[in-house]
Structure formats: structure tokens, C-alpha cells
Structure 1
Amino acid sequence: MRSFVALALTASTLSGCAYNAAPQPRSPLAAQELDRYLAGRVAGRPQACLPSYRSQDMIVVDENTVLFRDGANRYWRTEMVGGCNGLGTPGRALVTKSFGTAQLCRGDIAQVIDTAAGGFFVGGCSFGDFVPYTGPGIRRR
């Protein structure tokens, strides 16, 4: 009986943390940066996973949006589920871990670390779908 109560309490506590944080509106500066990267590109079909070889060049736009550069003409956009508290703050970095796979996928957990304070974890979030944005003259996959 005790384990059931503890499990129910833990589940309700975790669900409250995960869904109480509504994404913050995009700042004018972040909107301008996102437009700069995606201008003239066409959105493709959302994908559940992003192969890890495409995840090497990450661009944090704000607490809600992360881009991955795939060559010169393609970016993959993901919206962090519920936002990623503190990610857009200078001195913060997003750390991802792959376990048994070479991909980042929707629902994978990422952790925010404070690089100025010795790498302490300060938050966490999960990835949404990955949407490819392809530039003119590039064949879409």
C-alpha cells in the first residue's frame, strides 16, 4: 500500500512540474534570429527523430526553440515541450545523451547546465518533432 501511495504522489508531482510551465512568448530578438535562419526556406514534413550526425551544430534560439544545422541550406527546428527553463540565458548549454541509438527523438530528455557555475544542472526538458527547413534549390528528403 505504501508503494502505491508513493508512486501516485510521485506521478502527480512530476506531471505538475512537466505541464505547469507554458512556453513563454518569443522575444522580438529571438523572433528576428529565427527569421534570419529560416528566411526563404520551406518547412518539410515533421520527423520523430533526427539522426545524430545532424545534431552536431545546435543553435539555441530561445527557451522554446532549438535549430540544428544540416549543411549550408537545411535547418531542423524543434520546439521544446513546455519550454526549457533557462536555456536562452547566456552561460547555459543543452546536454543530450543517446542510449543505444544514434538519434535524437521526440520525447528525449535534455538537460540544461550552467557552464559558468562548473556545469551544474539547472533544468531539463524534452524535444518535440523535428521539422526540416530546406533552402531554395535543395532537394527535400
Structure 2
Amino acid sequence: MAKLNLMAAALLIAAAPLVASCAPAGSSEPGAAALTPKQAERLDKQLAGKVPGEPVRCLPNYRSNDTIRVSDNILLYRSGGNLVYRNDLKSSCPGLARDSDIMVVRQFGSSTCEGDFFYLVDRSSGIRGPTCVFGEFVPYRKPAGDKG
């Protein structure tokens, strides 16, 4: 019995860093990780002068070609100069912000939708990385009449 308790304690100690690494660092809301200054600057630059609209569940393929990886939690899809869709992933996608891995989207139909999966593949080794899940797509548009 003492041997079993010792093994259980050893497993708990070994697993603690893994469990802790799943918790978001510096988050102000559940599931959201704090952005680095560079990431915040990139996000601000892409959304500057635009106002958020009603979230949409799916994004047609023709609107999802220009992807900007802001952080491990946020993707932007630019659709022309006046429209950007922001996607806050369902949870963190470790390595997404590096922007060096290939994103492979598991798609069923002609749109990418909230709840669809994608995974990362290391460009040099071909090793598959984490599986990630899209959140809803929030359109950011320049207000009508704004030429800037």
C-alpha cells in the first residue's frame, strides 16, 4: 500500500508541470492569454479604424486566403482593405504564433466554420503538431464614409 501511495505521489509531482502549462499565462479572461507588445501592435495595426460587427459562424473560403497569425489564440483573415475577420480560437494553439509551421485545415464544405479543426505541421520535419479549434469569426469593418 505504501509503495502504491509513493507511486501515486511521484506521478502527481511529474504531471504538475504539464497541467500548469495548460493554464493561460497572464489572462484577463478565461481562456485568453496575454499578448506580447509585438502581438498587440500587430493586432492594433490590422484592426485600426475598424469597428466590430456581429459574429458569424462560418467564413466562406474566398474570404479566408489572407491569414495573419497574431498569437497562439488569435487569427485574423483579411478580406480587402476594409474588412478583417478576427477569430479567437476555442483554446490556445501552441506554436501558432511562430508562423513557421503549416496550417492544415480540416474542412467539410466550402466554408471554414466555428468548431472546425486545424493542425500544425512542422515545415522541415513534417511532424504533426497540436490540433486546434476555430472560434466564431468577428468582422471588423471601417465605418461607412471612412476613406482612411
Matches within 5 A, 1:124-135: 124-135=131-142
Q: Output the CA distance in 1 between the equivalents of 2:48 and 2:110.
A: 29
Pairing 1:113–2:114 present: no
Unaligned ranges ≥5, structure 2: 1-18, 25-31
Equivalent of 1:82 in 85, 91, 113: 91
Letter in 1 for 2:119: Q
- Report what 2:13 is aligned to: none
Find the structure with the greater CA-based Rg.
Answer: 2
Give the match's secondary structure for 1:116.
Answer: coil
When normalised by structure 2's length, the TM-score is 0.73
CA distances 1:22-79 after superposition (whole Å, capped 9, x unpaired) = 3432111100100000010010001111111111111111100000011121000001
- Report what 1:52 is aligned to: 61
When normalised by structure 1's length, the TM-score is 0.77
Q: Output the CA distance in 2 between the equivalents of 1:131 and 1:64.
A: 14
Q: Output the CA distance in 2 between the equivalents of 1:90 and 1:65.
A: 12
Over the aligned positions, Cα root-mean-square deviation in angstroms equals 1.9
Q: Output the CA distance in 1 between the equivalents of 2:65 and 2:145.
A: 20
Q: Output the CA distance in 2 between the equivalents of 1:21 and 1:128.
A: 18
Once the two structures are TM-superposed, the CA of residue 97 in structure 1 deviates from its matched residue by 2.5
Once the two structures are TM-superposed, the CA of residue 120 in structure 1 deviates from its matched residue by 2.0
Letter in 1 for 2:112: L
Q: Output the CA distance in 1 between the equivalents of 2:119 and 2:145.
A: 33
Once the two structures are TM-superposed, the CA of residue 90 in structure 1 deviates from its matched residue by 4.4
8 Å contact from structure 1 (residues 113, 120) kept in 2: yes
8 Å contact from structure 1 (residues 87, 93) kept in 2: no
